[in-house]
Structure 1
């Protein structure tokens, strides 16, 4: 009999039995998997599935067309969640089992001949459960398209000319505007789009011609519309695997979709969607300047369909070519300050254009638009909160040259700025939201600009490296 203080160097019989049981189960699993793969390659019930899914019931269900999630046609009007999850399955091929099987199988295991385009920050992993079917049809000659929703991803499968392609985009926190359309095809300067079921009317307008009326577009019985593509590289730069390579240089007319929601969702709600090269069009909004009081009230982004918004977007329309539409869900043009230019040359508008990504990050570009001529690039920053809901305090500065040839240092801040100070090569301080001073002679370095908010906090100017911060 062993003593209680003895050290046992062998596992107990119980541990040995557990080890043997685990080994047996492991061997059984290997044999079952091998049997499943053998059936798949031998033309059994799993023969149409990629090998990693064969013999795995839970994973196999994700590739079964019969298990696809299909939402009732009127679900969108009876839910408080108006996004892609409320889309019904539409298109003439929603019952085409062979097409749906090919689409799911290609998504699960794309071959080397499959063109795959994945938007920044989104996973290309195959589905782990049955996805939702949004569309299956032939929206163009010789083209078959299937669109799925998988949690926070939209997946588009395309067959064209004997080739297959996949496009995957993010849909985090999509809503009534950012879930309003999906691009199905792009061909010869036009795009075919599937609209959300809550879109009642659609039209197309040229963003560079604000005085023109929107041209009504017929919405097909399957919820699709055809629109022109922008004449620049932006609209055809495409993260789109099916049409990668199209595009041209320059900025001409920029057609955008103007759509209106059904009164069953919200009354008199029209908004703009721009094709910036991604699977999903980008929602355009506008924030007018806050003026008319010592501390003007904050202004919120509004739909870019009114006269003032259209006039301003017409002036900045060509700058949309700088936006990567594969990653961006919305672009807001915020006119945060107005300044009187020196030498009685008129008023200039300071604007911050924020492109908000699907993951919440934002890229901003600040410009100064004089009374005549093009906007002047002032600063840009990436992955910043500036000019958004959580970055409402902004200071920007630039060197501006008057028609006389004299140089001036200009600066402007958002509504809470109480004082602006320049140090370094220029020493100047002014109360209020704008600063104008004669620039130091060249080759003096640019001065350092700071602003004091009414709360006493100090912010720095947003510069070309995105250095502005609280």
Structure 2
């Protein structure tokens, strides 16, 4: 294997190799140095010339070099020996003036990080090779021995001591050094160090500028105040006495139904020291603050006094929820003692609690806390009742969910927290009716962010809330695909059955479903076309749909472009293969070209095929327009 082949392998698997290096490196290095070191180790893993590839191929060879360097980087420097290259801070890549670190995870990722930090380098590598790479113990022992671990058996035994609960979290964004956030370094210390060095240069530059300017002045800065002038609006944003507080009944007399009329709640709403800390961390988060945000959400300080939604104790933390007209900011600190502080942001502009199809969901609930795989919500003042419903069991009744006087619910399981999808619990909220009872019912699901996503069903022109067993049954085959849009800033998810098809050879009936996830920012939507085969047994719950096609930042399956066409290569119970395709009700014909040719009148197509065949789909609408398959 020559250098070009190794480079091709490295580029193709770069993100996975960087994640492997980041997880094996000792957490004591700090997140910023671990990120830069992980990238440096992967980039230094190219051979210097032609070398013999392992029997497992080029990826295994490059992975072995990355693993050896990551283990070397964690070894203690000795006075009597020259340091190895991996033990020294990397020269490249290097970033001046910024700290880089992956997106912050939740309590589960933090617990896993603590357990991994207590392991030796070899045991940490064994745990990662098992969980991330899926290698059996024999291969793990061989790789550890090749990487210089003195006792691979002991390393495996030590890795067994932390269990396997966190294996699924190894794929979390918390451990992805290729998806990063940036923060400034210590600005005061940097300024102090730089001041002496630049004083002479600054003096020369100032003198030269004064000589060059006409009239000996400094030049015009427009209407700007001097740099040392105080900004009253910025100062007011940090004053806990000036946070906006809304009375409990303000929403009843307001024409607005967004966060601006949420009342101030919580037992700690009058705790000024807590509010002062929350506002100060929002304005200038320190190096120890774990900051997270939904995509395209600014994380800077508020422009003026923010509105206080909630301040109270949630499980083992003191939580403050603030709103500045564009974003929700959640500050959380340990209830007792010292520990990590979290600051989370979510974009919520354009939020409303009306019944329009495109109405945003976040005005019904906000995530108040996450602990031990559970989530608690702060509900809107117009929510009359809350309950929990399992999307995978559409016939079951909803279970009541108790709320405290401050509007915070009891904990409910976080959906999709485990690798297997045995249940998908969602929050069901009932609005207050004009007579004081319960009105319209909404379904909200947690997708790992501050704002839950609202679930709807029906055609894009008229999506409706998921109510009734038929609508819930349509969602039962879709729920387990929701992790595909997790942590993406999703506002609403609409799932729409656009066609049903009788399968060849009397194999039952299948459903074609289009699922569209729209974001708060209005762009970067995610669209999934699903093929939902019939259950193997009569009366059995629907099986998770198979993704037939997907698209990003597309208008397909939405109000502007409601058309959708997708196909799959399907095998009958008799062992024969077919290309199946379906379009929405506007299609008048469908055809397939390429590896499989055929056409059909109407919107459904079934053509015999062979394993591995590839087909190109398109169809014609009622007005004669030719439309291609979703991609």
Fold in common (TM above 0.5): yes
Deviation digits for residues 67-118 of structure 1 (CA, Å, limit 9, x no counterpart): 2122222222223321112211111121111111110001001110111111
TM-fit CA distance, 1:266: 10
> Does the 8 A contact of 2:376 with 2:412 survive in 1?
no
Provide the C-alpha distance between the structure 2 equivalents of 1:95 and 1:460, rounded to a whole number of angstroms. Answer: 59
Of 157, 179, 187, which residue of structure 1 is paired with 2:331?
A: 157
> Does the 8 A contact of 2:593 with 2:617 survive in 1?
yes
Provide the C-alpha distance between the structure 2 equivalents of 1:20 and 1:210, rounded to a whole number of angstroms. Answer: 73
Matches within 5 A, 1:2-81: 19=217, 29=226, 32-33=228-229, 55-81=230-256
Residue equivalent to 1:381: 551
SS at match of 2:478: helix
1:148 paired to 2:310: no
> Does the 8 A contact of 2:294 with 2:487 survive in 1?
no
Taking structure 1 as reference, are residues 396 and 326 closer, same or farther at Cα in structure 2, changes over 3 Å only? closer
> Does the 8 A contact of 1:217 with 1:225 survive in 2?
yes
Of 441, 451, 465, which residue of structure 1 is paired with 2:619?
A: 451
Provide the C-alpha distance between the structure 2 equivalents of 1:200 and 1:103, rounded to a whole number of angstroms. Answer: 30
Deviation digits for residues 112-149 of structure 1 (CA, Å, limit 9, x no counterpart): 011111111100111121111111111224x1111111
More helix by share: 2
SS at match of 2:323: strand
TM-fit CA distance, 1:392: 0.1
Residue equivalent to 2:294: 119
> Does the 8 A contact of 1:280 with 1:326 survive in 2?
no
Q: Which stretches of structure 1, 4 residues or longer, exceed 3 Å deviation after superposition? A: 15-23, 264-267
SS at match of 2:475: helix
Q: Which is worse superposed, 154-163 or 257-266? A: 257-266
Matches within 5 A, 1:182-221: 182-221=366-405
SS at match of 2:422: coil
> Does the 8 A contact of 1:418 with 1:451 survive in 2?
yes
SS at match of 2:282: helix
How many residues end up aligned between the 2 structures?
400
Residue equivalent to 1:371: 534
* RMSD, aligned α-carbons: 2.5
> Does the 8 A contact of 1:204 with 1:227 survive in 2?
no
Taking structure 1 as reference, are residues 230 and 99 closer, same or farther at Cα in structure 2, changes over 3 Å only? closer
Provide the C-alpha distance between the structure 2 equivalents of 1:393 and 1:266, rounded to a whole number of angstroms. Answer: 39
Taking structure 1 as reference, are residues 326 and 285 closer, same or farther at Cα in structure 2, changes over 3 Å only? same
1:344 paired to 2:500: no
Provide the C-alpha distance between the structure 1 equivalents of 2:626 and 2:532, rounded to a whole number of angstroms. Answer: 26
TM-fit CA distance, 1:405: 1.2
Of 509, 512, 522, which residue of structure 2 is paired with 1:360?
A: 522
> Does the 8 A contact of 1:393 with 1:414 survive in 2?
yes
Taking structure 1 as reference, are residues 454 and 22 closer, same or farther at Cα in structure 2, changes over 3 Å only? closer
Gaps of 5+ in 1: 1-14, 34-54, 234-247, 289-297
Of 403, 408, 431, which residue of structure 1 is paired with 2:573?
A: 403
Deviation digits for residues 29-55 of structure 1 (CA, Å, limit 9, x no counterpart): 35x55xxxxxxxxxxxxxxxxxxxxx4
Provide the C-alpha distance between the structure 1 equivalents of 2:428 and 2:257, rounded to a whole number of angstroms. Answer: 19
| TM norm structure 1 | 0.80
TM-fit CA distance, 1:299: 6.2
SS at match of 2:511: strand
Provide the C-alpha distance between the structure 1 equivalents of 2:346 and 2:366, rounded to a whole number of angstroms. Answer: 10
1 or 2 for the larger relative contact order (CA 8 Å, sep ≥6)?
1
TM-fit CA distance, 1:326: 4.8
Deviation digits for residues 163-197 of structure 1 (CA, Å, limit 9, x no counterpart): 32100011132221331111111112322210001
> Does the 8 A contact of 2:474 with 2:497 survive in 1?
no
Deviation digits for residues 293-340 of structure 1 (CA, Å, limit 9, x no counterpart): xxxxx8622111211111122222222222214511111111111111
SS at match of 2:389: strand
Gaps of 5+ in 2: 1-212, 354-360, 537-542
Provide the C-alpha distance between the structure 1 equivalents of 2:376 and 2:488, rounded to a whole number of angstroms. Answer: 17
Provide the C-alpha distance between the structure 2 equivalents of 1:299 and 1:343, rounded to a whole number of angstroms. Answer: 35
More strand by share: 1
Residue equivalent to 2:441: 270
Provide the C-alpha distance between the structure 1 equivalents of 2:614 and 2:488, rounded to a whole number of angstroms. Answer: 36
Provide the C-alpha distance between the structure 2 equivalents of 1:152 and 1:397, rounded to a whole number of angstroms. Answer: 40
1:232 paired to 2:424: no
| TM norm structure 2 | 0.60
Q: Which is worse superposed, 148-157 or 224-233? A: 224-233
Provide the C-alpha distance between the structure 2 equivalents of 1:424 and 1:320, rounded to a whole number of angstroms. Answer: 32
TM-fit CA distance, 1:255: 1.5
SS at match of 1:106: helix
Taking structure 1 as reference, are residues 442 and 200 closer, same or farther at Cα in structure 2, changes over 3 Å only? closer
Provide the C-alpha distance between the structure 2 equivalents of 1:450 and 1:92, rounded to a whole number of angstroms. Answer: 60
Residue equivalent to 2:364: 180
